[in-house]
């Protein structure tokens, strides 16, 4: 029995006999159509994402097996939340909100590679990743959501494995995402205005202005934009906000 394998990165649910799969599988004599159909069946949940796939073929019997990898949890969260990037300040600035059903969906996708011994533990792991990305869960900070999971508030939904949301729920989440982004843009614009006022009052002295901005609670990204540190300056104000 001679076993050979082919590794490829395919778009979820959209594998085809075109490169990279077709040319790699052709010499192995396997039924490419069946392989592609099985890959698409197993990667259906990863539409819009690149998924690592390994096809192992017995070149004698032409039988095959497929191993599907999964994108990182952070990528799955961004896809569910329709985010391009996570929050740069996750402890203070939220960029999206997810329902527990979406968390369960991601946990089911990643269960094989998570440390949790059961689905409830896996759900908590995914919420922990949300915490580092500035993504709320069920309208609250991820740390609070974990407490609610531990208290058993979502046990029934976790047991049922429900992962689908209604059109109304999806619409509400999108409206909230847009509102969160608008709020952050307003906050950043306000901080930039305040930073410019501080710099003007400091007579253009960047070092002095940065100290005053630090005291005023201006984010460092805004400080760096409005009053870049003088060349060779020390890191006295480098505590992250």
Return the higher-pLDDT residue of 21 and 71: 21
How confident is the prediction for the chain on average, in pLDDT? 89
Count the neighbouring beta carbons within 10 Å of the beta carbon of residue 235.
Answer: 7
Whether residue 241 is predicted with pLDDT greater than 80 in this model: the reply is no
- Assess whether the previous peptide bond of 58 is cis (omega < 30° from 0): no
Q: b vs e for 20-57, b when ≥16 Cβ sit within 10 Å of the residue's Cβ?
A: ebeebbeebebebeebbebbbebbebbeebebebebeb
Structure tokens at 38: 């099985």
Whether residue 17 is predicted with pLDDT greater than 90 in this model: the reply is yes
CATH 3.30.1550.10 is the classification of domain 3-68: yes
Instruction: Determine how β-strand 64-68 pairs with β-strand 50-58.
Output: antiparallel
Q: Which residue has the tokens 């869960």?
A: 137
Just give the CATH number of 73-165.
1.10.10.250
Whether residue 114 is predicted with pLDDT greater than 50 in this model: the reply is yes
Whether residue 86 contacts residue 78, with contact meaning beta carbons closer than 8 Å, is answered with yes
* pLDDT, tens digit (0-9, with 9 covering 90-100), for 158-215: 999 888 888 998 898 889 888 898 988 898 899 899 999 999 999 989 989 999 998 9
Q: What per-residue confidence (pLDDT) applies to 1?
A: 58
Among the listed residues 195, 222, 204, the one whose alpha carbon sits nearest the alpha carbon of residue 89? 222
* pLDDT, tens digit (0-9, with 9 covering 90-100), for 119-172: 999 999 999 999 999 999 999 999 999 999 999 999 999 999 888 888 998 898
Q: Which of 38-42, 47-51, 56-60, 189-193 has the lowest mean pLDDT?
A: 47-51
What is the mean predicted confidence (pLDDT) over 83-106?
Answer: 92
Q: What per-residue confidence (pLDDT) applies to 26?
A: 92
Whether residue 54 contacts residue 7, with contact meaning beta carbons closer than 8 Å, is answered with yes
The band of 240, judged by pLDDT with boundaries at 50, 70 and 90, is very low
Whether residue 31 is predicted with pLDDT greater than 90 in this model: the reply is yes
Residue 135, φ and ψ in degrees, nearest 5: -110, 125
pTM higher than the cut 0.75: no
Whether residue 102 is predicted with pLDDT greater than 70 in this model: the reply is yes
Whether residue 220 is predicted with pLDDT greater than 60 in this model: the reply is yes
Q: What per-residue confidence (pLDDT) applies to 45?
A: 76
Whether residue 4 is predicted with pLDDT greater than 80 in this model: the reply is yes
What is the mean predicted confidence (pLDDT) over 84-95?
Answer: 90
Helices and strands (H, E) in the chain, number of each type: 10, 5
Domain ranges of the chain: 3-68, 73-165, 174-241
Whether residue 239 is predicted with pLDDT greater than 60 in this model: the reply is no
Q: In which region does residue 135 sit, left (phi positive, over 0), alpha (psi from -120 to 50) or beta (all else)?
A: beta
Whether residue 210 contacts residue 227, with contact meaning beta carbons closer than 8 Å, is answered with yes
Q: What per-residue confidence (pLDDT) applies to 219?
A: 85
Q: What per-residue confidence (pLDDT) applies to 234?
A: 53
Q: What per-residue confidence (pLDDT) applies to 23?
A: 93
Whether residue 238 is predicted with pLDDT greater than 50 in this model: the reply is no
């Amino acid at each position: 029995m001679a076993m050979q394998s082919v590794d490829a990165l395919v778009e979820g649910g959209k594998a085809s006999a075109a490169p990279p799969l077709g040319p790699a599988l052709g010499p192995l004599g396997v039924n490419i159509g069946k392989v592609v159909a099985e890959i698409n069946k197993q990667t259906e949940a990863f539409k819009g994402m690149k998924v690592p796939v390994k096809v192992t073929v017995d070149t004698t019997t032409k039988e095959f097996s497929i191993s599907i990898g999964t994108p990182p949890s952070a990528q799955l969260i961004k896809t569910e939340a329709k985010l391009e990037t996570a929050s740069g300040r996750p402890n203070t600035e939220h960029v999206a909100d997810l329902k527990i059903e979406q968390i369960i969906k991601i946990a089911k996708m990643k269960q094989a590679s998570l440390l949790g011994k059961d689905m409830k533990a896996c759900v908590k792991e995914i919420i922990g990743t949300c915490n580092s990305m500035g993504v709320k869960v069920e309208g609250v900070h991820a740390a609070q959501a974990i407490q609610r999971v531990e208290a058993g508030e979502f046990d029934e939904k976790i047991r049922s494995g429900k992962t689908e949301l209604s059109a109304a729920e999806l619409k509400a989440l999108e409206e909230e995402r847009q509102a969160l982004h608008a709020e952050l843009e307003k906050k950043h614009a306000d901080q930039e205005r305040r930073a410019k006022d501080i710099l003007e009052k400091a007579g253009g002295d960047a070092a002095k202005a940065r100290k005053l901005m630090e005291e005023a609670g201006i984010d460092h990204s805004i400080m760096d934009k409005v009053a870049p540190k003088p060349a060779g300056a020390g890191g006295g104000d480098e505590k992250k906000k």
